[in-house]
Chain A
């Protein structure tokens, strides 16, 4: 029964659930204290975030819907299985956007009622936020790896070196910021070794898999034969690269910048809006690319 719901129906249901929870559940006192705001202002801020969240969720579920339909169209073709996996990964990202927000709202509310749960809710939130990219990027990579293998193509030397260089810089600064925060006020509520082994290493590994997958898909798209096919595929690859980069940036900011107590609400919202807009534009590109690819299989 539940499987019969289209991704867009799921989007509407999840958005309604999130909006109701944002209005009904009491905010955590620590959040109010950190942001220096009243519960009413907090709810207003949450609702102003729900609207852009709604846009990005819609873009994500729509992209998932288009990509899944395209994958079904070519399921008997050689590239059918890889695209089915790519569609699944976009689905995980779309669901992840909604579920992390909903669970975060619920856990924050429980933590507001039971002080003993405060530490646990931060840890659970962090692990849920990690779980989504782990599942999505690993699934994505099984698809892009197959595509690149099918095309008998491997990342070029210069491309690989640029990717490794950029990634090393990103990873080193991430470790630096997380360690700095850990020493200052430990917003992760974890001892050092579990923090390194269960958050830092998985994040760095997952981001690399995500970026590698984006690069592999771009490579496959760039070298694919067929002018019209390549054009549509390049759109999809560019969209996916933007979504992955923005998702990584969101996690980067959440784990480094946003945990600082001296950041104002408006600054946090500005950064979040910019990243949401980037993610939404990425999902729109994925949807447009997938729609065009689907059309090639229909006319």
Chain B
């Protein structure tokens, strides 16, 4: 459970830089609405799809492509982090 929360927390932490106090609510909505999962159930395999949905959602919030690219790039780094930080391990 601890590891499962790690990935979710990391996604929220990255999002916090762009959406501040709305970050956890934003990520919760993306996971629940587009992945049909509970936020705590976010797995490493879901991350790519989640990032795609986040990109779509953030493009509604700003036209500044630099901010969108930077945000998505920061989230993308989570994809390439060592597996010990994600919840892909059983």
**B60 interface neighbour in A78, A79, A226, A299, Cβ under 8 Å:** A299
**B21 interface neighbour in A224, A227, A295, Cβ under 8 Å:** A224
Residues in B whose Cβ lies below 8 Å from that of A197 = none
Q: A77-B25, A297-B25 are in contact. Are A227 and B60 (CB under 8 A)?
A: no
Give B2-34 as 1s and 0s: 1 = Cβ < 8 Å from A's Cβ atoms: 000000000000001111111101100100000
Question: Measured between alpha carbons, how far is A293 from B22 in the docked complex, in Å?
Answer: 9
Is B67's CB within 8 Å of the partner chain A?
yes
Of residues 234 through 285 on chain A, the ones whose CB sits less than 8 Å from some CB of chain B are none
Residues in B whose Cβ lies below 8 Å from that of A79 = 21
Question: Measured between alpha carbons, how far is A231 from B57 in the docked complex, in Å?
Answer: 17
Using a Cβ–Cβ cut-off of 8 Å, how many residues does chain B contribute to the interface with A? 17
Is A229's CB within 8 Å of the partner chain B?
yes
Pair A292/B20 contact, Cβ less than 8 Å: no
Is A17's CB within 8 Å of the partner chain B?
no
Pair B18/A227 contact, Cβ less than 8 Å: yes
- Would you call the interface of chain B mostly helix, strand, loop, or mixed? helix
Pair B57/A226 contact, Cβ less than 8 Å: no
Is B62's CB within 8 Å of the partner chain A?
yes
Question: Measured between alpha carbons, how far is A152 from B29 in the docked complex, in Å?
Answer: 28
Residues in A whose Cβ lies below 8 Å from that of B62 = 228, 231
Of residues 16 through 65 on chain B, the ones whose CB sits less than 8 Å from some CB of chain A are 16-23, 25-26, 29, 57-58, 60-62
Pair A228/B67 contact, Cβ less than 8 Å: yes
Is A230's CB within 8 Å of the partner chain B?
yes
Using a Cβ–Cβ cut-off of 8 Å, how many residues does chain A contribute to the interface with B? 18
Q: A77-B25, A296-B26, A297-B25 are in contact. Are A226 and B61 (CB under 8 A)?
A: no
| Number of residue pairs A-B, CB distance < 8 angstroms | 54
Pair B57/A299 contact, Cβ less than 8 Å: yes
Of residues 181 through 226 on chain A, the ones whose CB sits less than 8 Å from some CB of chain B are 224-226
Closest to A292 in B: B61
Question: Measured between alpha carbons, how far is A78 from B23 in the docked complex, in Å?
Answer: 13
Closest to B68 in A: A228
Residues in A whose Cβ lies below 8 Å from that of B22 = 74, 226, 229, 293, 296-297
Q: A77-B25, A296-B26, A297-B25 are in contact. Are A224 and B61 (CB under 8 A)?
A: no
Residues in B whose Cβ lies below 8 Å from that of A231 = 62
Of residues 60 through 90 on chain B, the ones whose CB sits less than 8 Å from some CB of chain A are 60-62, 67
Closest to B29 in A: A299
Residues in B whose Cβ lies below 8 Å from that of A226 = 16-23
Residues in B whose Cβ lies below 8 Å from that of A293 = 22
Closest to B22 in A: A296
Pair A225/B20 contact, Cβ less than 8 Å: yes
Closest to A293 in B: B22
Q: Which residues of B contact A (CB under 8 A)?
A: 16-23, 25-26, 29, 57-58, 60-62, 67
- With contacts A224-B21, A226-B21 known, what are 6 further pairs, Cβ within 8 A? A77-B21, A227-B67, A229-B18, A229-B22, A299-B26, A299-B60
Among all A-B residue pairs, the 7 with the closest Cβ atoms: A226-B20, A229-B20, A299-B57, A225-B20, A226-B19, A296-B22, A299-B60
